[in-house]
Amino acid sequence: MFEIMMELVNDVRNYDGTCSGTTIYKIPFEESDVVVDLDTLFEGITNSDVECNPFEIKPQAYILCGRLLIDGKEHQIKLISMNSPITILKNKFMNKKGKFKEIKEKIGKVPGLAIVLVGENPASKIYVNSKIKGCAELGFESFAHYLPENVTEEELLNVIRELNADEKVDGILVQLPLPKHIDEKKVVETIAFSKDVDGFNPINVGKLAIGEKSFISCTPYGVVKMLEEYNINPEGKNVVIIGRSNIVGKPLLQCLLNKNATITICHSKTRDIKAITKNADILIAAVGRPHFVTEDMVKDGAVVIDVGINRNEEGKLIGDVDFENVEKKASYITPVPGGVGPMTIAMLMNNVVEAAKMQNGI
Query: What residues are annotated to the active site?
Result: 131, 175, 198
Asked if residue 204 lies in contact with residue 215, where contact means CB atoms within 8 angstroms, the answer is yes
Residue among 297, 346, 339 at smallest CA distance from 318? 339
In the chain, which ranges are E strands? 23-26, 62-70, 73-81, 112-118, 141-147, 171-174, 238-242, 262-266, 282-285, 303-306, 310-311, 317-318, 332-333
When asked if residue 109 is in the footprint of ligand NAP (CB under 6 A), the reply is no
Shortest Å distance, C-beta 292 to ligand NAP: 7
When asked if residue 84 is in the footprint of ligand NAP (CB under 6 A), the reply is no
When asked if residue 119 is in the footprint of ligand NAP (CB under 6 A), the reply is no
Residue among 250, 223, 225 at smallest CA distance from 307? 223
Shortest Å distance, C-beta 272 to ligand NAP: 11
Considering beta carbons, is residue 42 or 127 the nearer one to ligand NAP?
127
Residue 210-229 contact track with ligand NAP, rule CB under 6 A, x = bound? ---------x----------
Cβ neighbours of 159 (radius 10 Å):
18
Distance separating alpha carbons of residues 184 and 176, to the nearest angstrom: 8
Shortest Å distance, C-beta 248 to ligand NAP: 4
Distance separating alpha carbons of residues 15 and 187, to the nearest angstrom: 46
Q: Out of 75, 78, 92, 289, name the contact with ligand NAP by CB under 6 A.
A: 289
Annotate 311-332 with DSSP letters as a single string.
E-TTS-EE-SB-HHHHTTT-SE
When asked if residue 356 is in the footprint of ligand NAP (CB under 6 A), the reply is no
Question: C-alpha dihedral over 166, 167, 171, 177, to 10 degrees?
Answer: -10
Considering beta carbons, is residue 5 or 307 the nearer one to ligand NAP?
307
Asked if residue 51 lies in contact with residue 79, where contact means CB atoms within 8 angstroms, the answer is no
Distance separating alpha carbons of residues 317 and 127, to the nearest angstrom: 14
Q: Which amino acid is at 100?
A: F
When asked if residue 335 is in the footprint of ligand NAP (CB under 6 A), the reply is no
When asked if residue 294 is in the footprint of ligand NAP (CB under 6 A), the reply is no
Considering beta carbons, is residue 65 or 248 the nearer one to ligand NAP?
248
Helix, strand, or coil here: 172?
strand
Considering beta carbons, is residue 96 or 289 the nearer one to ligand NAP?
289
Interaction residues for ligand NAP, span 227-286 (CB under 6 A): 242-245, 247-249, 266-270, 273, 286
When asked if residue 173 is in the footprint of ligand NAP (CB under 6 A), the reply is no
Shortest Å distance, C-beta 135 to ligand NAP: 17
Shortest Å distance, C-beta 357 to ligand NAP: 24
Shortest Å distance, C-beta 323 to ligand NAP: 14
Q: Out of 81, 194, 214, 344, name the contact with ligand NAP by CB under 6 A.
A: 344
When asked if residue 145 is in the footprint of ligand NAP (CB under 6 A), the reply is no
DSSP element (H, E) containing 201:
none
List contacts with ligand NAP (CB under 6 A).
Answer: 219, 242-245, 247-249, 266-270, 273, 286-289, 307-310, 340-341, 344
